[in-house]
């Protein structure tokens, strides 16, 4: 590939050699270090390629070998420039295009996210905009390491981030922690007092005394304690908030009196049989759309922040919907240009109310239940049994019942710190009083 580019830049020709001894011609070219390629026989002659510099050295060789040289084709940049030397506007446009491509290649024109499910592209783009990371910014101002640090700092449930520049695109890959939800943290009532103001927050959290309490009512089926003092056994019925494993260990003397406490972070795997009330409701009626032929179209071209449009979206339709399609221009795979085109179409329709059949209702509610069950299984929750029934009314249908589950119910909470009164000091104070 590189050799072909060098040949094109210097220029080369295709020639045909005829005469009494073309083989001698080839030998002399090799002796004078004239490089030949693409040699092919053509009747009593030979056709070949050689560089423009080598072609200029052929005159003495032709005289000595009594051969004839026919110039078949000229190729390369020198001949191209010679052919279009009078077309100045073409060359000006060509070099201007190269300059614009070089200029635009030094900017970021697109930010692409991969792996994000909980956090939408719009949310992440707004966050990056606050950090002054936006499309149309110079590549020299993009700090990938800082972007990764800021995202990890702002979103606790994002466990891995990678930022890289591919052409004119900023590519951000994200891995979310599926077991972490901010809403669950808010409902659990955890406050900032539970965490410590330490630089090594993770190590400090591990050393903080903690109990394990029941997150919901249930019957204990399995308990494996690694640290802490278990307060329940297999078969015990527990209520929400009951202490399952205590992080406070009593230190007793020979008389069996508690003289001190030791604290640690409880750690255990605790599973229990629980119950969950399942409810899913849907309407038995729906609106079916019948699209009409009349529609409004708008085509647009967006260059940077400037928008050029043709058409109109004004309509007097009673019922309508908007369809938008947009495509960004790019060169190759990753060089995105600040130019995009698209269309907006307003379609009118007439909606008619229809009713689902009994079979369709049962299929929809059953499918919803299967998706719900799959979500529980992905969270490690086992469904042991279910008593879910489908009830169909005139305007609505519902699936209601109880699910019997086996799941982990342990939830961390801060251990209450207990103070031990000095018994010897109390006895001394009592004698002095007497």
Q: Are 232 and 214 in contact (CB under 8 A)?
A: no
Q: Give Cβ neighbours of residue 27 (< 8 Å, ≥ 6 apart).
A: none
Structure tokens at 197: 């103001």
Kindly report, residue by residue over 48-81, the tens digit of the pLDDT. Answer: 999 888 888 888 888 888 888 888 888 888 887 7
Greatest CA span in the chain, whole angstroms?
Answer: 143
> Closest Cα partner for 382 from 409, 348, 407?
407
The DSSP call for residue 352 is E
The answer to whether the pTM exceeds 0.85 is no
Residue-level pLDDT at 333: 58
Rounded to whole angstroms, the Cα distance separating 295 from 299 reads: 13
Q: Are 184 and 118 in contact (CB under 8 A)?
A: no
3 state DSSP class of 166: strand
Mean pLDDT of 401-419: 89
Residue 103 has pLDDT above 60, yes or no: yes
Q: Give Cβ neighbours of residue 284 (< 8 Å, ≥ 6 apart).
A: 355, 356, 361, 392, 393, 394, 395, 396, 397
> Closest Cα partner for 35 from 3, 72, 82, 71?
3
Rounded to whole angstroms, the Cα distance separating 330 from 303 reads: 13
Q: Are 348 and 317 in contact (CB under 8 A)?
A: yes
The DSSP call for residue 265 is B
pLDDT band (50, 70, 90) for residue 190: very low
Q: Are 329 and 337 in contact (CB under 8 A)?
A: yes
Rounded to whole angstroms, the Cα distance separating 82 from 88 reads: 12
Structure tokens at 196: 């410590």
pLDDT band (50, 70, 90) for residue 274: very high
Which backbone phi and psi does 58 adopt, to 5 degrees?
-85, -20
Residue 189 has pLDDT above 60, yes or no: no
Rounded to whole angstroms, the Cα distance separating 240 from 215 reads: 5
Number of Cβ atoms within 10 Å of the Cβ of 323: 11
3 state DSSP class of 394: coil
The H or E element containing residue 369 is helix 358-378
Question: pLDDT: is 21 or 299 the higher one?
Answer: 299
Between the two ends of the chain, the Cα-to-Cα distance in Å is: 107
Residue owning tokens 């604290």:
263
Residue owning tokens 């050393």:
207
> Closest Cα partner for 45 from 20, 63, 12?
20
Structure tokens at 315: 């309509």
Question: pLDDT: is 164 or 92 the higher one?
Answer: 164
> Closest Cα partner for 212 from 200, 221, 223, 201?
223
Mean pLDDT of 349-354: 89
What the chain holds in terms of domains, given with CATH numbers, is 2-83 (3.30.70.260), 285-355 (no CATH)
- How do 335-355 and 45-51 pair as beta strands? unpaired
> Closest Cα partner for 31 from 4, 64, 69?
64
Mean pLDDT computed over every residue of the chain: 83
Q: Are 288 and 354 in contact (CB under 8 A)?
A: yes
Q: Are 15 and 38 in contact (CB under 8 A)?
A: no
Residue 82 has pLDDT above 80, yes or no: no
Residue 185 has pLDDT above 70, yes or no: no
Question: pLDDT: is 194 or 222 the higher one?
Answer: 222
Residue-level pLDDT at 178: 62
Q: Are 407 and 276 in contact (CB under 8 A)?
A: no
């Amino acid at each position: 590939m590189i050799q072909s580019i060098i040949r094109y830049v210097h220029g080369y020709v295709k020639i045909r050699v005829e005469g009494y001894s073309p083989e001698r011609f080839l030998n002399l070219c090799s002796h004078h270090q004239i490089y030949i390629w693409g040699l092919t026989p053509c009747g009593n002659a030979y056709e070949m390629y050689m560089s423009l510099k080598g072609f200029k050295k052929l005159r003495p060789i032709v005289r000595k070998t009594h051969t004839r040289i026919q110039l078949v084709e000229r190729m390369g940049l020198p001949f191209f420039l010679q052919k279009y030397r009078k077309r100045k506007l073409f060359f000006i446009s060509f070099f201007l295009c190269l300059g614009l491509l070089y200029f635009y290649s030094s900017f970021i024109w697109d930010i692409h996210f991969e792996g994000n499910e909980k956090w939408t592209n719009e949310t992440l783009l707004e966050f990056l905009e606050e950090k002054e990371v936006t499309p149309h910014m110079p590549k020299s101002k993009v700090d990938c390491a800082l972007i990764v640090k800021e995202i990890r700092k702002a979103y606790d449930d994002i466990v891995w981030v990678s930022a890289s520049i591919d052409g004119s695109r900023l590519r951000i890959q994200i891995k979310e922690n599926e077991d972490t939800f901010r809403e669950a943290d808010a409902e659990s009532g955890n406050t900032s007092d539970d965490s410590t103001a330490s630089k090594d927050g993770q190590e400090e959290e591990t050393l903080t005394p903690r109990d394990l309490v029941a997150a919901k009512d249930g019957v204990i089926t399995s308990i494996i304690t690694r640290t802490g003092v278990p307060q329940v056994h297999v078969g015990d019925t527990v209520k929400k908030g009951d202490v399952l494993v205590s992080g406070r260990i009593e230190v007793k003397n020979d008389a069996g009196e508690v003289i001190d406490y030791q604290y640690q972070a409880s750690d255990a795997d605790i599973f229990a049989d629980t119950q969950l009330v399942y409810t899913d409701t849907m309407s038995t009626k729906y609106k079916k759309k019948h699209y009409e032929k009349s529609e409004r179209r708008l085509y647009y071209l967006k260059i940077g922040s400037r928008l050029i449009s043709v058409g109109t979206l004004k309509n007097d339709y009673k019922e309508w919907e908007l369809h938008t399609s947009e495509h960004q221009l790019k060169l190759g795979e990753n060089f995105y240009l600040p130019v995009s085109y698209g269309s907006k179409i307003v379609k009118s329709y007439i909606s008619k109310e229809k009713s689902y059949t009994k079979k369709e209702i049962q299929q929809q509610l059953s499918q919803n239940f299967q998706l719900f069950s799959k979500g529980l299984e992905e969270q490690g929750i086992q469904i042991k049994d279910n008593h879910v029934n489908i009830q169909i009314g005139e305007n609505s249908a519902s699936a209601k019942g109880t699910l019997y589950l086996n799941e982990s119910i342990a939830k961390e909470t801060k251990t209450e710190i207990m103070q031990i009164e000095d018994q010897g000091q109390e006895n001394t104070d009592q004698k002095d009083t007497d």
